[in-house]
A and B are shown apart, each in its own frame.
Chain A
């Protein structure tokens, strides 16, 4: 499968735990974007990364959330000390280049907080 791969597809955490969401971009893509989809709110941009660099994190909550895209391996979205309000679908997208290139989406990680 040459598409954007996200894992896990479903993740359940208790309040206060940490959640790690992984994203492997399409082959050859070095631009990664994370979005969050909340019921009734639609998709909201969180962060844009290139290899080893955060380009735009203007959509990230100021606390508890972080993202990385190391030289080797997948991009990671990390949520520390999760709260009920973090329950959502988190989508990763990748593009061959930045700019107006189409972004290709993974199937998402559904995060549920107990």
Chain B
């Protein structure tokens, strides 16, 4: 069965510092992986997706993630944090061995950015 684990429920960085949000997956088949961001009282916005085309995936707002099969990881990074990046971030995997249906989410990581 597919699952994702986000390490660290809360990450704090200074403005301009590197952002690293960790996600490890478990999957019996090649996974389809996603990162979403949620701002307070809003829905989830898709940051980027991995669908096996390339291991380094670039997303919106300067974020990118690297798929590492050997480490079963899909960590999210951004070279320089901005105050507007403060939000909750969710890693997700498509459930099931056949493509389709539900997303399985990690518990989320809250990113705080200080000036």
Nearest Cβ in chain A — how far from B111, in angstroms?
Answer: 16
Stretch at the interface among A12-20, A62-70, A71-79, A102-110: A102-110
- A48 near B43: Cβ-Cβ < 8 Å: no
Set of chain B residues within 8 Å of A100, measured between Cβ atoms = 32, 49, 51, 94, 99-100
B90 beta carbon closer than 8 Å to chain A? yes
Known: A42-B90, A43-B90, A91-B43. A99 touches B100 (CB 8 A): yes
CB within 8 Å for A42 and B106 given contacts A98-B101, A100-B99: yes
Provide the residues of chain A in CB contact with B32, threshold 8 Å.
100
The answer, yes or no, to whether A26 is at the interface (CB within 8 Å) is: no
With both chains docked as a complex, state the minimum distance between the C-beta of A109 and any C-beta of chain B, in angstroms.
10
* A114 within 8 A of partner (CB): no
Specify which chain A residues have a CB less than 8 angstroms from the CB of B90 in the assembled complex: 42-43
Bound CA–CA A28/B44 (angstroms): 20
Residues of A within 8 A of B (CB): 4, 6, 33, 35, 41-45, 48, 55-56, 58-59, 91, 93, 98-100, 102-108, 110
What are the 3 tightest A-B residue pairs by CB atom distance, in nearest-first order?
A: A45-B102, A105-B43, A99-B99
Report which B residues bind A (CB closer than 8 A).
32, 34, 36, 41-46, 49, 51, 90, 94-95, 99-108
Question: 6 A-B residue contacts at CB 8 Å?
Answer: A44-B105, A102-B34, A103-B46, A105-B36, A106-B43, A108-B42
